[in-house]
């Protein structure tokens, strides 16, 4: 019987796993000090992060969201972005890594992967600074300035990653950047390639240089750029929605991209959820997406657990039952 880590490696190389990787079971998350520095907000709070973005986290909401309006907008004119966007010098900040290093050692003692969560990717950083509409319009109207700002953000993100690698040596880094809605990309694939493909080659190239498993969270429709995701160095596309043709994506990417998700949260994680509905959706996902491997059944959120208590416990239990069908 394979260990949890061995089973992940077999899944990633499309080898011979002996079970589905069960959601986040092999990937305990640790929280690094750079994360808290860049996201200084808790439930029920409003705060301003070091880049100037106003963040709000509602009491009963699953996470923080940027509040960008005419009053809070950090970058009202992208052609003058240097006047508005001032990234902090992370190398000059005396972060305390003691606790997270101890947490990581406990995980390694369990023979599991140490995973770090890096939120607010390059595209999301743009609309945190200037708003969603301005971001999309500026890609078309002010391409030169946007290329410059993207390069600046990319270097800042690479500094974050370097600090994490130097101080923690994680096995997995999960990077968040949603590039689409449920059924479409936010931009044409050609536009995504023009502005974001090279920055992500640099970001994921830095991780791969240090032997890190690269996990990209995008709970949206990204099917047209799935082959590009392989080319920039992504190992796992986490959060893949069923609105993508998951089996076709495996073929389009030459079975080189592991797809983590496929369980429709809008069906299972609801206030009136029932065990029968949850188990049926998990069974459907395993049935529809198991052929050809490269699949990890999981809720499509960018982290462990469900919004409604009890749902994720049923999901994990049903995945264990499905193992008996697909891994005899």
> Which tens digits make up the pLDDT trace of 244-266?
999 999 999 999 999 999 999 99
Closest CA to 292 of 268, 326, 320: 326
pLDDT (mean) for 189-193: 98
DSSP of 190-240, one letter per residue? HHHIIIIIHHHHHHHHHHHHTTPEEEEE--S--GGGHHHHHHHT-SEEEEE
User: For position 285, what pLDDT does the model report?
Assistant: 98
Report the alpha-carbon angle 153-172-307, nearest 5: 85
What are the residues facing 215 on neighbouring strands?
174, 236
Looking at residues 149-177, what average pLDDT do you find? 97
Q: Is the pLDDT of residue 219 over 90?
A: yes
> Average pLDDT, whole number, for the chain?
97
Q: Of 13, 16, 49, which Cα lies nearest the Cα of 255?
A: 13
Q: What is the pTM of this model?
A: 0.96
- Collect contacts of 86-95 with beta carbons under 8 A, ≥24 apart: 86/51, 86/52, 87/50, 87/51, 87/152, 87/153, 87/156, 88/37, 88/50, 88/51, 90/34, 90/37, 90/156, 90/159, 90/160, 90/163, 91/159, 91/163, 93/37, 95/33, 95/34, 95/37, 95/163, 95/167
Residue 182 has pLDDT above 80, yes or no: yes
Helical H segments across the chain, by residue range:
4-12, 33-38, 81-84, 98-109, 122-130, 132-141, 143-168, 189-192, 198-209, 226-232, 246-252, 265-268, 275-289, 311-326
pLDDT in tens, 110-159: 999 999 999 999 999 999 999 999 999 999 999 999 999 999 999 999 99
Closest CA to 67 of 55, 82, 81, 50: 55
Task: Give all domains of the chain, ordered by start, each with its CATH number.
Answer: 4-43+73-326 (3.20.20.210)
Residue 328 has pLDDT above 80, yes or no: no
Residue-wise pLDDT tens digits, 193-210: 999 999 999 999 999 999
3-state secondary structure of 66: strand
pLDDT in tens, 5-20: 999 999 999 999 999 9
> What pLDDT does 63 receive?
86
Q: Find the mean pLDDT for residues 167-189.
A: 97
Residue 27 DSSP label: -
Question: SS3 of 57, please?
Answer: strand
| Packing angle, helices 98-109 and 143-168, rounded to 10 | 70
With cut-offs at 50, 70 and 90, classify the pLDDT of residue 275.
very high
| Cα 115 to Cα 176: distance, rounded to the nearest angstrom | 13
Q: What is the pLDDT of residues 110-121, one digit of tens each?
A: 999 999 999 999
The string of pLDDT tens digits covering residues 28-60 is: 999 999 999 999 999 999 999 999 999 999 988
State the pLDDT at residue 258: 98
> What single DSSP character describes residue 132?
H
From 189, 241, 204, select the one nearest 220 (Cα to Cα): 241
């Amino acid at each position: 019987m394979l260990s949890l880590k061995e089973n992940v490696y077999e899944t990633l190389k499309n080898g011979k796993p002996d079970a589905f990787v069960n959601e986040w079971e092999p990937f305990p998350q640790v929280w690094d000090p750079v994360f808290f520095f860049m996201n200084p907000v808790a439930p029920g709070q409003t705060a301003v992060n070091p880049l100037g973005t106003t963040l709000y986290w509602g009491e009963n909401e699953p996470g923080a969201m940027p509040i960008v309006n005419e009053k809070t907008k950090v970058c009202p004119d992208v052609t003058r972005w240097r006047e508005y966007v001032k990234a902090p010098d992370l190398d000059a900040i005396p972060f305390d890594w003691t606790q997270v290093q101890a947490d990581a050692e406990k995980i390694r003692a369990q023979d599991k992967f140490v995973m770090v969560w890096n939120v607010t990717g390059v595209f999301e950083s743009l609309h945190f600074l200037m708003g969603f509409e301005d971001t999309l319009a500026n890609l078309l109207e002010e391409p030169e300035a946007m290329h410059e700002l993207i390069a600046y953000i990319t270097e800042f993100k690479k500094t974050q990653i370097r600090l994490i690698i130097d101080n923690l040596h994680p096995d997995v880094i999960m990077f968040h950047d949603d590039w689409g809605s449920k059924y479409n990309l936010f931009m044409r694939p050609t536009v995504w390639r023009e502005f974001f493909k090279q920055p992500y080659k640099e970001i994921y190239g830095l991780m791969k240089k240090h032997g890190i498993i690269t996990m990209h969270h995008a709970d949206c429709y990204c099917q047209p750029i799935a082959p590009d995701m392989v080319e920039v160095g992504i190992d796992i596309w986490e959060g893949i929605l069923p609105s993508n043709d998951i089996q076709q994506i495996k073929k389009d990417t030459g079975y080189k991209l592991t797809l983590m998700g496929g369980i429709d949260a809008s069906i299972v994680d609801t206030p009136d959820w029932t065990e029968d509905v949850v188990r049926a959706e998990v069974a459907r996902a395993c049935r529809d997406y198991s052929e050809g491997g490269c699949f990890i059944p999981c809720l499509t959120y960018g982290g462990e657990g469900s919004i409604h208590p009890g749902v994720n416990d049923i999901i994990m239990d049903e995945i264990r039952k499905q193992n008996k069908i697909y891994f005899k």
